[in-house]
Amino acid sequence: MKRLIFAVLMMTCSVSWAEWEMTGNTKTDTFYHDKSTIRRNGAVAKMWSMIDSFEEETNSDGAKFRSQKVFRVANCRERIAATIALFQYSGPMGEGNVILTRTIKEGEADWTPIPPGSVSEAEWKIICGKR
């Protein structure tokens, strides 16, 4: 458990210096990624992403947040992805106070299919090196 906490803290520190590139947007959010954080092992790839909301949102705990940094894992062969770490922030672009922190073991992650034409597909193409 201590190793997991240490690893997440180390990833969080390195993400604060990230070079965010825009992945895409929706009516409510702009999505970013940091290519320098991509790590591949066979068909599985991982990368840090950020979701910057246009307006303040409320999470399931009732707390208000404005942006989220997420550590995503993708299976490039099966076209599925999951979030294994989530950090919510009070301000835009990962600034302000940390509102919520959640980590999930990769084996317990909720893997979901990548919808065609979505921001998730654009992110999957980046993380998996697809064109």
- Tally of residues, the chain: 131
Q: How many CB atoms lie within 10 A of CB 52?
A: 21
CA angle at residue 48 from 112 to 24, to 5 degrees? Answer: 70
Average pLDDT in the 24-51 region? 96
Residue 12 confidence (pLDDT) above 50: no
- Output the pLDDT for position 80: 96
Domain count, the chain: 1
pLDDT of amino acid 116: 95
**Among 84, 85, 7, 77, CA closest to 44:** 77
Range of the structural domain that residue 60 is part of = 2-128
Taking only the tens place, the pLDDT of each residue in 99-128 is 999 999 988 999 999 999 999 999 999 999
Q: What is the pTM of this model?
A: 0.82
CATH number of the domain enclosing 91? 2.40.128.710
Residue 70, CB-side half-sphere exposure with 13 Å CA sphere: 19
Name the β-bridge partners of 24. 31
Q: How much is the pLDDT for 107?
A: 85
One-letter amino acid at 103 equals T
Q: Are 31 and 119 in contact (CB under 8 A)?
A: yes
Q: What pLDDT was estimated at residue 42?
A: 95
pLDDT band at 16 (very low <50, low <70, confident <90, very high): low
- Give me 30's structure tokens: 């702009």
Which spans in 1-131 are helix H?
A: 2-15, 119-128
Mean residue pLDDT of the chain comes to 89
- What is the pLDDT, as a whole number, of residue 17? 57
